[in-house]
Amino acid sequence: MNYNKRILTTAIITLTVFIFSPQIYALPIFEYNIFEQRPRYEFTEQLKKDNLLLNKGENEIRVMTLNLLAHYTSWGGTPVNERSHIFFSLRDSYKPDVLGVQEMCSDWYKEIINDKSSYKFVTPIKTAFPQKMTAILYNSDTLQVIDSGNKAFSDVLNFKARRVVWTVFKTKNTNEIFVVLNTHLSFISKNKTDQNLGSQACQVNELYTMTKALYSQYSAPILIIGDFNTKRRVNYQKSVITSGNYGILNSLYTDAENSTKTKFCGENLSFNNTLNDHIFIYGEAKINNLSLLSQDIFKNLSDHFPLLADISLWNLFKLLIDRISTMV
């Protein structure tokens, strides 16, 4: 009996020391997501080693767009908790100031909302399926939210899941104002091409109307990002072939792909391939770099690759002052 008591006492003491010892707490183990038991940032060191982390200028804004690939049982595919560690590694390696996401299902929402970092959702985020599928995240260390809103497209085919979310930001280091619109336009299905094209064209028109209204109100550069389900393609003769309503979008906005010579592509996809994801500009801004992050390590994150741009902002008022000063 005494022997058993000694064993029990020893076990209790050992467990107590293990739990409360500061040395144990200080062990540099992997950081884990509460929804999964996988290392959160396992790819960051690999990106550094391969020199794939792009430098951002001090006064640049870094914007990223990514279709997360929603997971529903009926759709099949890989569960979110087996992919989310790749997303967190991507986000915290490239550190975008603004990150527009599409297809954010409930599992993705739970993963991101419970993450403890400087990245916040632009609120309010509705928990119902249609309202949270398209969202904007921002780095609260670098940006301040001035205004925000969202609007479902008016066509009846999309069940309000197709929408625009927008945010007016102010940079904390330079106090510059800019606007971001994030959207996910309707998919063009083969058996309903004309109907879907018409629906998508209406969405483009509503998107442009919203863009002009925000520009009129804030006189600030506007970045329009997202999954547009419409493609810019280049054939072997290097002429542009478009699909969907890309031609209309390209006439209304400046495509980042057409306005910069500094581009980076991973090994799996290039800008000569068909891309549904775009970053457009309305107003005074300069694209300094456009990167399609199609590296192998991101292949299992989604059926889309992240698209990233580094942008210099020119506030209209500041631009006028600068031009006047050069004339004096």
pLDDT tens by residue, 176-225:
999 999 999 987 766 666 667 788 889 999 999 999 999 999 999 999 99
Task: Say if residues 295 and 267 touch (Cβ distance below 8 Å).
Answer: yes
The pLDDT averaged over each successive group of 10 residues in the chain (328 residues) is 58 50 35 45 67 81 95 74 92 95 91 92 69 89 96 74 93 96 85 72 94 97 95 53 76 92 84 84 94 90 94 69 59
Half-sphere exposure (Cβ direction) of 148: Cα atoms closer than 13 Å = 17
Q: What is the pLDDT of residue 3?
A: 56
Q: What is the pLDDT of residue 17?
A: 46
- Cis-peptide, bond into residue 130, ω within 30° of zero: no
Say how far apart CA 222 and CA 306 lie, in whole Å.
20
And the tokens for 4? 């058993």
β-sheet bridge partners, residue 143: 171
And the tokens for 205? 């028109």
Contacts for 286-289 with beta carbons within 8 Å, 24 or more apart?
286/259, 286/311, 286/312, 286/314, 287/256, 287/259, 287/260, 287/311, 288/57, 288/60, 288/260, 288/262, 288/312, 289/54, 289/260, 289/262, 289/263, 289/264
Torsion of CA 106, 277, 274, 75, to 10 degrees: 10
* Residues 6+ positions from 328 with CB-CB distance below 8 Å: none
Q: What is the pLDDT of residue 239?
A: 45
Domain residue ranges in the chain: 51-327
Q: What is the pLDDT of residue 106?
A: 87
According to CATH, the topology of domain 51-327 is: Deoxyribonuclease I; Chain A (3.60.10)
Task: Say if residues 220 and 316 touch (Cβ distance below 8 Å).
Answer: yes
Q: What is the pLDDT of residue 247?
A: 87
